[in-house]
Amino acid sequence: MRSDCNLAMHERGLASLNLVLQWIHSFPDVQKSAVMEAFDSASLAKTRRALRLLEELGPDQRGPVFEVEMLSTFNLEPLLPVLQLALNCLPSQARLRLAALDSIEAHIAHPATSGSHVVCNARIIIWRIEEALPEALYPFSHGFPQGLSARVDQLLERVERVVALHKRNSPGIPLFLSTMALPVNFANPVSAAQHPAGPFAAVARVNQKIYELAAPGDGIYVLDLASWAASRGSVYTDATVDFLARQPLTAKGQVGFALFIARCLRALVVPRRKVLALDLDNTLWGGVVGEDGVNGLKLGHEFPGNVHLRIQRELLELRHRGVLLVLLSKNNEADARQAFESLPDMLLKWDDFAARKINWNHKHENLREVARELGLGLDSFAFLDDSDYEREQMRQAIPEVLILNESSDALQTLRALWETDAFDAFFVTQEDRRRNEDYALRGARSTEARQDDLETFLKSLEMRATIEEIGLPNMERVVTMLGKTNQFNLTTRRHSRAQVQAMLELPGSIPLALRLRDKFGDQGIIALLLAVPSGDNGTLVVDSFLVSCRALGRGVEDALWAAMLRRANRQNVRRLEAEYIPTAKNAIVANLYDRFGLQRVEHNSGSTRYVSEQVSLADFPPWIAVKDDANKP
Amino acid sequence: MMPTSHSDRLLRLLVEFFDLPADTRPENISQQLLPSWDSLAMVQLITELEGRFLVNFDIEEIQRLRSYDEIRDALRRKGVSLGVQATSRV
């Protein structure tokens, strides 16, 4: 039982740990792993070790000095190291001061004697019902309902008095008032809920008062411990240490509590991200519009379309909170637009995006361009994309951009939106809410790719390609690809299994598949080339040439083309013919054969035909390790 | 007869917790001998032991947890496996 609890806690704790990883991404690896180990183990020794290692960093790595004063009705002293570590991760040079236990009013009222005259960046008041309103735990021993109500009234006055005192004595210092969690160790939860003046309603009244006192514009904030406790608190408490030292939290609980407090204070130290740049396919909807067509996309009230619908709800809410949405999609703009216009469940509209870059350029180039157009720094951007490749390229090309998600799964994307603190802000102004309208869309314009940067990135993907002959073992995938691929497809010929089989049997045919592995794993067969002999004068005709949409932009077509040329050369092919048949989807390859150096011999609206009167070998792209030892018998 | 791996883990935990030299002998780890083992350390130690070994101590035990030997005995009484396969956390 106990260990199940801990397992659940551990898993839920991971969300905060992901945030910590984002906070400390600029720390050196030694510090980073020490911090993660400390939080993961909840060990005091490891926490102290991480704190020592952080002390070794320079001020520029650690962030600004951040003085925090804590006042509490329970004993926070045992938590000081973990609180200190969590705040240091913001990152900041946190300095924590703890007022004497139960001295809230005295401390604020008499700063000179209590030492609180030192200026601080934030003051936190943490109180809990067990000390502030113990009568709520024993209502029938305290004249329920009138007696308890009177005590609640007194507590409400106390809360107001504390805030007034703070405003008078410490104007300008941000104050964080905690809400109060429901008591965990409490004997009568059933009847406690049955009366408007009962214990639970009493807690709700106190918290309501605290919410009403919040005035972020004046530096009065709410630290909603009640919400934290509601989702995580009960499994984090330990009655034994509470009795022993008036400290109610388990070791894991202390970590969760400290990270929660750090997250709440973080918005004082770190500005929120202003822009979310996101992908279309497999994010706003399930499926790839260029491949599956609008009718094949998944978006709606059934699984899994409902996951994408929920993603759209979250994005729309972000937009209304003043976060600019930007579309970065490798697609034909007409396809994307058609999906926006004809999918019945689309919540996001075309004009909800402050900028749209729908083209075949690199996303980081598009993002830089948007940043220039909007006049925002690259560190204002967060990025969401289902493709490992796109996220990795963005991570390497523009490290300032925060990558929000870390997998291709839509549910993980949704979780990333639920859990991220990238857009945390204490309040949303009218100006924020109008911001999206203020940014007009500018036309898409590509910039020149910086080829050397691109090669460095492509090399870092550690791509290994294997050239395979098409045959029985891979036939199913080949026929599926021929049937589905729309964008990088020169002729879009939907051959059946029997037709492919027939081509394989022609003497001198060159039917090739390319299987790709990279640092993210095995991508399977992602490119095909089918070439067949024609006549008896040594002519080879490229019948089909296609690359899966998930491998675009990596140069695999060059590798496959070079593999074909090797075989053609070995077979003494003397003339090469190829064709581009334009469709609504395949503009991306309109000039592919020009790039490969073939001569245009015929061009009309239905097709462009190419010829090469000699077969000269081409090198494999240097960033792909190609294994090509298959010899056709 | 009793495998020592778990006891060693306890020893390691205490050595790290009190920042002691790595070769500290178990008999030298007691509240009497360690000035840093004050009441605050006691609370932090109990939280740490409970979290690490997934146990709860009862009142009587807590009052006796004053040395390596006493902690080791209490953990054994809790049925914390002292076998080689013992896992400290999930």
Chain A nearest CA to B2, separation (Å): 25
**Rounded distance, CA A177 to CA A174, Å?**
10
3-state secondary structure labels for all residues of A191-239: HHCCCCCCHHHHHHHHHHHHHHHCEHHHCEEEECHHHHHHHHHHHHECH
Q: What is the pLDDT of residues A328-349, one digit of tens each?
A: 999 999 999 999 999 999 999 9
User: What is the domain partition of chain A in residue ranges?
Assistant: 63-269, 275-455, 461-627
Nearest to A352 by CA among A371, A314, A331, A324: A324
Is residue B55 in some structural domain?
yes
Q: CB contacts < 8 Å between A and B, how many?
A: 65
Q: What is the pLDDT of residue A383?
A: 98
Q: What is the pLDDT of residues A150-196, one digit of tens each?
A: 999 999 999 999 999 999 999 889 999 999 999 888 898 898 899 99
**Domains A63-269 and A461-627 belong to one CATH topology:** no
Mean pLDDT of all residues in chain A? 89
Question: Do A240 and B43 make contact, defined as CB atoms within 8 angstroms?
Answer: no
Q: What is the pLDDT of residue A362?
A: 95
Q: What is the pLDDT of residue A443?
A: 34
CATH number assigned to the domain with residue range A63-269, chosen from the 4 options 1.10.3470.10, 1.10.10.10, 3.40.50.720, 3.40.50.1110: 3.40.50.1110
Terminal-to-terminal C-alpha distance of chain B = 27
Q: What is the pLDDT of residue A456?
A: 85
Mean pLDDT score, A536-565: 93
Domain A275-455 superfamily per CATH: HAD superfamily/HAD-like (3.40.50.1000)
Q: What is the pLDDT of residue A8?
A: 40
Question: Percent of chain A, pLDDT > 90?
Answer: 75
Q: Which domain holds residue B17?
A: 5-77
| The pLDDT of residue A598 is above 90 | yes
CATH number assigned to the domain comprising residue B50 = 1.10.1200.10
Q: If pLDDT is split at 50, 70 and 90, which confidence band does A5 have?
A: very low
The nearest alpha carbon in chain B to A48 belongs to B17
Q: What is the pLDDT of residue A438?
A: 61
Question: Do A240 and B62 make contact, defined as CB atoms within 8 angstroms?
Answer: yes
Q: If pLDDT is split at 50, 70 and 90, which confidence band does A16 have?
A: confident
Chain B nearest CA to A547, separation (Å): 44
Q: What is the pLDDT of residue A630?
A: 55
Question: Do B44 and A42 make contact, defined as CB atoms within 8 angstroms?
Answer: no
Q: What is the pLDDT of residue A604?
A: 87
Give the gyration radius of chain B's Cα atoms.
Answer: 12
Question: Do B51 and A7 make contact, defined as CB atoms within 8 angstroms?
Answer: no
Interface test with A, best of B44, B62, B80, B81 (most A CBs within 10 A): B44
**Rounded distance, CA A323 to CA A316, Å?**
9
Q: If pLDDT is split at 50, 70 and 90, which confidence band does A632 have?
A: very low
Question: Do A43 and B62 make contact, defined as CB atoms within 8 angstroms?
Answer: no
The nearest alpha carbon in chain B to A45 belongs to B17
Q: What is the pLDDT of residues A57-67, one digit of tens each?
A: 998 889 889 99
> Hey, how many other C-beta atoms are within 10 angstroms of the C-beta on A566?
17
Nearest to A422 by CA among A327, A318, A308, A309: A318
**Which residues in chain B have their CB less than 8 angstroms from residue A254's CB?**
47
The nearest alpha carbon in chain B to A237 belongs to B47
* Residue with the larger pLDDT of the pair A458 and B84: A458
User: Do A181 and A129 contact (CB within 8 A), yes or no?
Assistant: yes
| Helical ranges in A375-507 per DSSP H | 388-397, 410-419, 430-438, 451-460, 475-484, 497-505
The nearest alpha carbon in chain B to A8 belongs to B90
CA angle A254/A255/A257 to nearest 5° reads: 65
Q: What is the pLDDT of residue A521?
A: 83
**Rounded distance, CA A180 to CA A74, Å?**
12
Q: If pLDDT is split at 50, 70 and 90, which confidence band does A442 have?
A: very low
Mean pLDDT score, A219-225: 95
Report the topology of domain A461-627. Aminopeptidase (3.40.630)
Question: Do B19 and A6 make contact, defined as CB atoms within 8 angstroms?
Answer: no
Is residue B87 in some structural domain?
no
User: Do B86 and B6 contact (CB within 8 A), yes or no?
Assistant: yes
Is residue B34 in some structural domain?
yes
Q: What is the pLDDT of residues A361-417, one digit of tens each?
A: 999 999 999 998 888 899 999 999 999 999 999 999 999 999 999 999 999 999 999
| The pLDDT of residue A75 is above 60 | yes
**Rounded distance, CA A502 to CA A512, Å?**
15
Is residue B39 in some structural domain?
yes
Chain A nearest CA to B56, separation (Å): 8
Q: What is the pLDDT of residue A7?
A: 39
| Tokens (6 digits) for A112 | 């000179």
Q: What is the pLDDT of residue A440?
A: 44
Is residue B22 in some structural domain?
yes
Of A123-137, A449-463, B49-63, B68-82, which range is least confident? A449-463
Of A232-241, A578-587, B7-16, which range is least confident? A232-241
Q: What is the pLDDT of residues A509-545, one digit of tens each?
A: 999 999 999 888 888 899 999 999 998 789 999 999 9
> Hey, how many other C-beta atoms are within 10 angstroms of the C-beta on A546?
27
Q: What is the pLDDT of residue A535?
A: 85
Q: If pLDDT is split at 50, 70 and 90, which confidence band does A249 have?
A: very high
| Tokens (6 digits) for A104 | 């809230």
| The pLDDT of residue A115 is above 60 | no
This prediction has a pTM of: 0.79
Is residue B29 in some structural domain?
yes
**Which residues in chain A have their CB less than 8 angstroms from residue B51's CB?**
42, 250-252
| The pLDDT of residue A285 is above 50 | yes
* Residue with the larger pLDDT of the pair A522 and A37: A37
**Rounded distance, CA A364 to CA A391, Å?**
10
Question: Could you tell me what percentage of chain B is helix, strand and coil, using 3-state DSSP and rounding each to the nearest 5?
Answer: 50, 0, 45
Report, as ranges of residue numbers, the positions in chain B whose pLDDT lies below 70. Answer: 1-7, 81-90
Q: What is the pLDDT of residue B7?
A: 53
Is residue B42 in some structural domain?
yes
Is residue B50 in some structural domain?
yes
The number of folded domains in chain B is 1
